[in-house]
Structure 1
Amino acid sequence: MPKTFIVPSFILDIKRLPSLLQVGGFCASFSLASMVLAQDVLPKEDPLKLKLEDQLLVRPVVPDDVAPTFTSSKQLDGVMDRQMRLEGDAVIRRNRTVIKGDVITYDPDTDIADVDGHATLLKDSTSFKGPKAKIKVDAQEGWMDEPDYELRDIGGGGKARRVEFKEDNEIEFEKLTYSTCRPENLDWYLTASRMDVEQDTQTAVGTNAVLHFFEVPILYTPVFSLPTGSGRRSGFLSPTYGRASRGGVKGWDITVPYYVNLAPNRDMTLFPRYLEGRGEQLGVEYRYLDRNYTGVVTAEVLDDVAYGKNRWAFGLKHTQNIANGLVGYTDYSKVSDDMYVDDLGKSLNGVVNRQFNQEVGARYGYAGWNILTRVQKFQTLQPDPNPAYQVLLPYEREPQVNAKYLRNNWNGLNVSVETDATRFTYKGLAASSRTFKEGNRAYATTSVARPFMTPGYYLTPKVSLRTTQYSVDPFPGQTDLNRNVALPTFSLDSGLIFERDALELNTLFSRNILMTLEPRAFYVYTPYRYQNDLPLFDTADAGFGISQIFSENSFAGNDRIADNNKVTFGVTSRVLDADTGIERMRATIAQRIDMDGQRVGLTTEQTPVKRSDLLAGLSTRLVGNFNLDGVVQYNEQVSKLVQQSVTASYRPELRKLINASYKRVINPVDTKATSDQYELSGQWPITRQWYGIARYNFDLISNQVLNRVAGLEYDADCWVVRVVHRHYQNTSVLSTSEIYMQIDFKGFTGLGSNPINLIRFNIPGYEPISPNPAPISPFESYE
């Protein structure tokens, strides 16, 4: 049995003290034993001492069989080797377990303490208080009647008719209530017949539970579990519900997912779903992970009453380690019809995915080489009846073999080699960029660069050679094409970096500031070759921006190589925090001079232009969490800004956010706008507990709202409610309207669809209210 130290109170009956000192071999001390650390207890012949610590520390737990037991009370009585009676503020303490009561009767032989009146048990992060209890101190087993309990690890507590403390740190509650609310603000609580808490395995499971919200029962569940840890367990997940109008059908959308923990490396989630006006859908997601493979399988099926047919979706993503350096993979997805995603999918950001990848391949890496071989096909949905909005079908790769080699700093040189051989097939109709039905293309690109880098300047000459060979089959009525194209390219990238202390800006930014001036010149030369008769298997215009203006090719892909005799001049200035290196501001201006004028275009020859549009960009990260980013493109021929994009955001503190952006693009040929949109979004507190969230995206050309999101969040003491409405345009004739609602009972569960991901997609910088109680310090409520 562990050593026991009796610490009487100062009002102890002194007359009886001599006889008590001989009881059961106990020794007495008038020290404040509750503050004595077990590991600091000295041998019997030395007096006990207090050890001063300069900070709160969590000490290692001493095993119970060697840990001393401390007791204290106002009065102490007992019989030698039999019992002792602690009366008046009685306390028994061992390790991190504390037993309190008005009267404690302790039997050393059985190690049982009977507690009568204001019984209290404190153990690690749990506490129990009731009228009476019986506890075996060493084994920490026993019971307590009508306890008020607190489980601080999960921030919850409540009342019970009885609690039993069993072996292996198991706690069993009978006829209990549970909530994470404060007792004086009990907005929601759970009543249950029974709950078992296993502290070692961090599980809490109960039966026959009813959830009450403002005293109204709203949910019954035969089995429930509390989130006591991060371990996975089988059971129902939070049900989701909402109301939507999709594809001309309005009604409720309810899903009750069930999670199945099959094994430590495998699990499955079932998604039974009810769609009013359509029927019942069943979905499943199966995930698996092993040393040599991993993957996810998804499937959905619905007998759609409104559509009149069975509708389904299937997806498979699998990666397999075949040998050292060799990996095989599958990325395959398919749906039953063109309208499936718009009618049944759950788009988060208003952008609906209408192209599904169907790819099988393998990758091999060795000694700087990366080899890819694959077959890639697509399912492209066409939900819009307007031909002007039909999606152009891509070429499919059946198959492709690609090999890349890269080696940097080989005797000061950067060397890269890429070879590719692909057979392309096309299943659509002829178009201006789809002039061939199928064909073979092979290319090889080799480049060598020699960078010269110093803190004040850099210079990188580069030489590359690209050869391409085509053998293609045209549509009926057109001639075949067999052609080789070989083009060399030379480029020279150079720049200077000047830096100074910007003392005049220190006051503005309230810190030490550095300013840089970084002029840059980029020259590229590629001879002209006629390429309009070549197919466009995977090539498009690369666009025009700050990064593209300093590139070697104005096309993205492998079917067009721009003729170049161009030099791009630009200058960048940066404002830096001298102490942290954080970039506070960056401004760039650049223009490309074409000495010969580019002639190669995507489908036709271009009219040569000697000077490109003037590009200017600004990016700021100012003190006070105000950010401003903008890019403008000025065309000298029409004397207009043909592209302008501005984005601003202001975030003074957490959950205070305003975003604003505007984008306008015009066609320099007729100066008509091809894109003219603005967008506002944000999150802002309305009161101490109410938050507003919104997004508004409007197209000035079509004069219609493209995406609209509006919602409210309410943060109570122990629950959060979110209501979000969204309306967006799917196609030229189809729009979707949805409303989402969620109630988070902190520390228990959530009811309703989870709109947090939806809000994050639509409102950059959004910070949700935490659905979990704040973590409890181990020193909170310390006794």
Structure 2
Amino acid sequence: MQAHAQLAEAAGTVPEVTAPAPGDQAQDLQLKPSTLLQETYTPEVRSQQPIYIKGDSLSGQPDIKASVHGEAELRRGDTMIRADKLDYAVPDDKVNAVGSVHINKAGNVFDGSKLDLEVDAFKGSFEDASYRFLVNSAHGESSRVDFLDRDHAVVHHATYTTCQRDDEASWQPAWQLQAETIHVDMAEEVGVAENAKLKFKGVTILPVPRMSFPLSDKRKSGFLPPTQGMDSQGGFEYTQPYYWNIAPNRDLTLFPSVMTRRGVNLGAQFRYLEPSYSGEAYANYMPGDSLRDRDRWGYSWQHRGTIDSPIGGLGLNLNLNRVSDDNYWRDFRWAPIALRQRLLPSTANLSWAKGDGVLSLNVVRYQTLQDPASPIAPPYSMVPQLQYRYTPLELPHGLDFTMVADTTRFELIRPLAGQIGNNGQRSYVQAQLSRPFLSPGAFITPKLMLHSAMYQTDQFMSNGSKSAQRTLPTFSLDSGLIFERDTSLFGKKLTQTFEPRAFYTYTPYRDQSMLPLYDTGRSDFNFASIFSENDYVGQDRIADNHLLTLGATSRFFDPDTGAEKFKLAIAQRVRFSDQRVLLPGEVPATSRFSDILLGAAVNWTDKWSFEGTTQYNQDLKRTVRTTATARYSPSNYRTFNIGYRTQYDTTAQTDASKLVDVGWQWPINDLWGDKGKDLGPGRGQGGGRWYAVGRLNYSIKDKQLVDTVVGFEYDGCCWIGRVVLERLQSSITQSNLRLLFQLEFVGFSRLSFGADPERSLKQNVPRYQYLREAVTPPSRFTNYD
């Protein structure tokens, strides 16, 4: 028979206890506070909470002392204490417990032999205590735990691991931290170990006098795990990052590096997030880089924001990128993607929107990184561009209208040797008016367009003038029908459509050969551009098109879900007059029929899909371009992708390129019948599993691999090993080879040799999934006593 007692009555109403609401976890690349277990009660409310005790027998004096024997239990709020025997002193709010003592505090569990504790202050000591934290399932043993307050404790002669114990008596964790003391801060979710050593498979791999480590995914200041690596350019490399968590919405990462063949590199990244603006800035500086015998540097800054003003909301966006030299993009492969390109844009945009109009002021400048083996012509910079776009949303009679007015100053910065430029000012107005007529089975949309442009150049144009004007009208008529029927395919009921489409466009000829080319090029020939009015992208050439495009599409839908299972498409242009407006070096199109575009897409199940497009030339009687991709993904962590691309040079009558691209992530255990468990995204498929990952880009024409990323991952439940071989082509004749190795102690830390292999796999392998990703922290009620 159990005795029950309530020793203190709360004054007022105690609020209902609820679990914390789930929230996003702070990731390495997220500026937001983590929503982990927080104190449910304020100190004022907690001091008024009643204490409940129970046990086989109860003795003592009311409001003075209580002694409980046999399955003794004490509860207050989110704290529960259970023991063979406990004594509670009411005036001191102090409990003494002995014999199989068990504490559950908001889901964190402690077990030991003897406890002395001030319950409300949660201050005292616990002998021979083991512990388990709710948020990350980490656990360990100790000789004593000193509770300093409700959020802080010191664990003496402690062990710490996230490896979960099995039923074998000889079980030992795969990795374990052993320390003289561990200072636990549950408010900051940080542990600090002193006189510690990290053991893996019983071998000490990292002895450290002092180290801090996270108790959750919450961001914290401190040194990040170092990275060691070796590649063919820099030799042996050592990087020691330091992370400064300035505030929940601001942080700074410093990453100094030493490379045996190149010298010292100093890098930093700063990020910020405010209600009206956000951004990130990166910079690095390498004095006296031995690889190029010069100082090297680069910076990148992206800013997005709005500004309150008396005239309404303003938007300010910046994207600034600049590097020290032409070889930066190939020598700094760890830099942000924005700096690993040969054409670096720097843009500034100030915009104002009111009603149906948007006014914007833009500045765009380019830095072109030249490769003597493969030079590229720098584009014109816009310094500046002023543009107004007007798109009324409500017009009578179903009309659609758009007008754009633009004036831009174009300048060629650092032209390529032999490149002839003509800086100048271009102003244009483009207006279009359309009236769509729609019905369930048909549509027709007539459209009128008017484009008027004026040029004022610094140098004489080919006609001997520094100014020119051009005004051109365009008419188009887009129409189509939609037929539908019920059908079946491979025993599956489907809805099939047949959608013929006809698109007519006419633009009269105007001589534009004297006009400079500031931002114009030929558009790609595909299913989008074949149904458009202009063959060119930009404003400097308006094609003299007199065309009729005929096409048809047939789709197969699931009638219950509306999901598209199968699609076939075909399109071809009929030209009624020869093309006369050309870009320099172009051959006029005189054939009455264009190449035929054929396309197909299959998404029969969620497991696999196929998509392909081919361009067939009737004069050559062969395909001149083909793109095809196929994917098979039967479950999480099982994906195989293959792509094929070929381009035929119709002028040289030879293949310009032929590429095969293969990417995969697959459990190797499948080979011997071990299918594992699908634990969901971010949880892996169970322990003891090997995964093959990689991507191969092979040039059939050159008979060689262009880019290679291949590796293996091993999931040991509480630890993950990764090894990746990466060879990326940096130019026609040069490539960079790196071996990347990483040992991840789940929920604790990572040790890397080379750059982060996870980052390389995520960037290169399509549909790659991390074996461990942060999940919503559990409620304290998931471990409720």
Q: Same fold per TM (> 0.5)? A: yes
Shift of 1:269: 1.4
Match of 2:300 among 305, 308, 315: 315
Greater displacement, 355-364 / 407-416 = 355-364
The answer to whether the 8 A contact 1:226-1:747 is kept is no
Matches within 5 A, 1:68-467: 68-78=50-60, 83-183=65-165, 184-221=171-208, 224-229=211-216, 231-245=218-232, 249-290=233-274, 293-303=277-287, 304-319=289-304, 321-322=306-307, 323=309, 324-346=312-334, 352-382=340-370, 384-386=371-373, 389-411=374-396, 412-427=398-413, 435-467=420-452
Matched AA of 2:252 = M
1:549 counterpart residue number: 530
1:494 counterpart residue number: 479
The answer to whether the 8 A contact 2:377-2:415 is kept is no
Aligned to 1:392, the other structure's residue is in SS state coil
Shift of 1:750: 1.7
Aligned to 2:513, the other structure's residue is in SS state coil
Greater displacement, 549-558 / 65-74 = 65-74
Shift of 1:75: 4.4
- Please list the CA deviations of residues 388-410 of structure 1 after superposition, one character each: whole Å capped at 9, or x if unmatched: x1111111222222221112441
Matched, 1:613 2:595: yes
- Please list the CA deviations of residues 137-173 of structure 1 after superposition, one character each: whole Å capped at 9, or x if unmatched: 3443321012100001122011122212233443332
Matched AA of 1:559 = D
2:2 counterpart residue number: 7
Greater displacement, 406-415 / 521-530 = 406-415
Separation in 1 of the partners of 2:462 and 2:545?
A: 35
Separation in 1 of the partners of 2:437 and 2:8?
A: 83
Q: Is the alpha carbon distance of 1:223 and 1:413 closer, same or farther for their aligned partners in structure 2, counting shifts above 3 Å?
A: farther
- Please list the CA deviations of residues 514-546 of structure 1 after superposition, one character each: whole Å capped at 9, or x if unmatched: 221111111111011222232211111101001
Shift of 1:221: 4.8
TM-score (norm: length of structure 2) = 0.86
Aligned to 1:608, the other structure's residue is in SS state coil
Matched AA of 2:769 = E
- Please list the CA deviations of residues 678-704 of structure 1 after superposition, one character each: whole Å capped at 9, or x if unmatched: 111101101251000121111122222
Q: Is the alpha carbon distance of 1:723 and 1:348 closer, same or farther for their aligned partners in structure 2, counting shifts above 3 Å?
A: farther
- Please list the CA deviations of residues 306-362 of structure 1 after superposition, one character each: whole Å capped at 9, or x if unmatched: 332221112333445453332344322211111122112327999941122233342
The answer to whether the 8 A contact 2:366-2:413 is kept is no
Separation in 1 of the partners of 2:303 and 2:469?
A: 38
2:541 counterpart residue number: 560
Separation in 2 of the partners of 1:311 and 1:169?
A: 47
Matched, 1:654 2:614: no
Aligned to 1:436, the other structure's residue is in SS state coil
Matched AA of 2:145 = V
Shift of 1:591: 0.9
Aligned to 2:73, the other structure's residue is in SS state strand
Shift of 1:364: 2.0
- Please list the CA deviations of residues 696-722 of structure 1 after superposition, one character each: whole Å capped at 9, or x if unmatched: 111122222111110000101201111
1:15 counterpart residue number: none
Shift of 1:262: 2.8
TM-score (norm: length of structure 1) = 0.86
2:720 counterpart residue number: 720
The answer to whether the 8 A contact 2:329-2:339 is kept is no
Matched AA of 2:284 = E
Matched AA of 2:361 = T
The answer to whether the 8 A contact 1:720-1:771 is kept is no
Shift of 1:593: 0.9
Aligned sequence identity (%): 33
- Please list the CA deviations of residues 481-522 of structure 1 after superposition, one character each: whole Å capped at 9, or x if unmatched: 4321111000111111222222x23x544xx42221111111
Matched AA of 1:555 = Y
Shift of 1:278: 0.8
Aligned to 1:666, the other structure's residue is in SS state strand
Shift of 1:85: 3.3
Separation in 2 of the partners of 1:532 and 1:339?
A: 36
The answer to whether the 8 A contact 1:436-1:473 is kept is no
Matched, 1:735 2:735: yes
The answer to whether the 8 A contact 1:155-1:775 is kept is no
Return the structure number with greater relative CO, CA threshold 8 A, min gap 6: 2
Separation in 2 of the partners of 1:594 and 1:398?
A: 39
Aligned to 2:642, the other structure's residue is in SS state strand
Separation in 2 of the partners of 1:495 and 1:192?
A: 74
**Which 4+ stretches in 1 moved above 6 angstroms?**
23-27, 37-40, 347-351, 475-478
1:622 counterpart residue number: 604
- Please list the CA deviations of residues 543-563 of structure 1 after superposition, one character each: whole Å capped at 9, or x if unmatched: 100111111111111111111
Separation in 1 of the partners of 2:430 and 2:276?
A: 34
The answer to whether the 8 A contact 2:118-2:124 is kept is yes
Aligned to 1:359, the other structure's residue is in SS state strand
The answer to whether the 8 A contact 1:395-1:426 is kept is yes
Q: Is the alpha carbon distance of 1:774 and 1:179 closer, same or farther for their aligned partners in structure 2, counting shifts above 3 Å?
A: farther
Matched, 1:751 2:751: yes
Shift of 1:419: 1.6
Separation in 2 of the partners of 1:768 and 1:379?
A: 35
Shift of 1:780: 4.7
Greater displacement, 342-351 / 125-134 = 342-351
Matches within 5 A, 1:628-707: 628-687=610-669, 689-707=689-707
RMSD over aligned Cα atoms: 3.0
The answer to whether the 8 A contact 1:705-1:728 is kept is no
Separation in 2 of the partners of 1:38 and 1:487?
A: 73
